[in-house]
Structure 1
């Protein structure tokens, strides 16, 4: 009889814990670092040799490039940001800004990866602007400028947004590169 009471108490505590977790899930969960193609599995040498033999030799490989995104800020990282830098920006507002920047990066590089022949006039102008903004320092890296954020998101690029960018630099999510009258925000 005593064992059943212990089990029932343990079960009740587990139920309470689950309800607490369900009610307190953060809006932005940090993502786990995933391998490049996302579905790599570990196999021994014999299996690898079998797979290589089974693949036909004339397979045309498609280059599907994935667009890099900035990871959300974790709560411990947010708490380590100095108070003078945070001001009145909340954790949720900071991660909302991260999502907006990610949306701008995705939209920008979707246009850049698209064939110029398939683009409309507006997209061609944007494509040319993006190419003009690239320098030898930004080659192969994902970056946005303030105009991209204005173009692809609803965010206002104001003093508060500059403070958010400072916090993201502090958390090492992005880096600032100035040159040619344009400030580029490179994703790390």
Structure 2
């Protein structure tokens, strides 16, 4: 911008100089003065051309700056929208004091576990498979008659509850019976009785596990959610022995 101002000032000075020379034109000028006037006019023409080029460059730069401003404004709106619509199942930042994740309250599900789960020894070496959350494209692929009134967040809240049940169940199974309290020992035996040769190496839960470790209602709506999860290839059913085992895929 300073270059443009300098050129503009220079043109202004040239015009003023020419104006003074024209004012004196009524007087007969020597030949060398007339020649100098021509040179000044030629110089002014060059300066005007340079000024036009600078103006064109400034217009182009202004156009690109406006486009850049619109791009960043759109990006800012997108980021704000993402911030305001974070799915409730996304893992939260752990609290620096308690070390626990901060999770939004959910009407349909909770990750609160009974007291006996607190007595289970924590082992980082033991792997427990968890169900992956449903993505938005997967949710949109579910037929409307199957979804009913279940929302995207509610479906993933159910996934979260199933993962809680799976984790709690297999932490008990992976523990030595001697380290468990009486209630956990009964659960350990019950889990063993539910296993078959077809479940070897697999992770599964039954409806009683959902009731034991979560507060999610095992009702007709829950059965509809299971159908949606089967549609998304998150689990399959294995029946036998009076149980319906929901096998994680």
Give the TM-score range, shorter chain: 0.7 to 0.9
Q: 2: distance between equivalents of 1:132 and 1:88? A: 36
The answer as to whether partners of 2:89 and 2:160 remain within 8 angstroms in 1 is: no
Q: Given the alignment, which residue of 87, 101, 104 partners 1:26?
A: 87
More divergent stretch after superposition (12-21 vs 173-182): 12-21
Higher helix share goes to which structure?
2
**Aligned-residue offset at 1:17:** 2.9
User: Deviations for 1:104-148, whole angstroms, at most 9, x for unmatched residues?
Assistant: 000000101111111011111100000010000000100001111
Hey, what does 2:225 align to over in structure 1? Answer: 164
| Cα separation, 2, equivalents of 1:133 and 1:16 | 52
Pair 1:151-2:212 in alignment: yes
Q: What TM-score do the two structures reach when normalised by structure 2? A: 0.59
Q: Which has the larger radius of gyration?
A: 2
Please give the per-residue CA displacement for 1:151-170, whole angstroms capped at 9, x wherever unaligned. 11101111111111111111
8 Å CA contact 1:81, 1:167 repeated in 2: yes
Is residue 88–residue 157 contact of structure 2 (8 Å, CA) maintained in 1? no
Structure 2 partner of 1:74:
135
Of residues 58, 66, 76, the one that matches 1:15 is: 76
Q: Which has the higher contact order (CA 8 A, sep 6+)?
A: 1
Which structure 1 segments of 5+ residues have no match? Answer: 31-61
The alpha-carbon deviation at position 4 of structure 1 amounts to: 4.3
Q: Counterpart of 2:27?
A: none
What runs of 5+ residues in structure 2 fail to find an aligned partner? 1-57, 92-122
- Residue by residue over 1:2-61, the C-alpha shift from the partner in whole angstroms, topping out at 9 and shown as x without a partner, is 25444444433332332233223333359xxxxxxxxxxxxxxxxxxxxxxxxxxxxxxx
Aligned pair 1:187/2:242, yes or no?
no
Q: Confirm or deny: 8 A CA contact 2:238 2:247 kept in the other structure.
A: yes
Q: Which one of the candidate residues 175, 179, 183 is aligned to 1:114?
A: 175
Instruction: Describe the shift of the 1:113–1:83 C-alpha distance in structure 2 as closer, same or farther (beyond 3 A).
Output: same
In 1, the alpha carbon distance for the partners of 2:188 and 2:221 equals 29
Change (3 A) 1:97 1:180: same
Aligned match for 1:129, one of 190, 199, 202: 190
Q: How many residues align?
A: 157
Question: Contact conserved, 1:28 with 1:95, CA < 8 A, in 2?
Answer: yes
RMSD over equivalenced CA pairs, Å: 2.1
* TM-score in terms of structure 1 length: 0.76
In structure 1, what is the Cα distance between the partners aligned to 2:167 and 2:235? 15
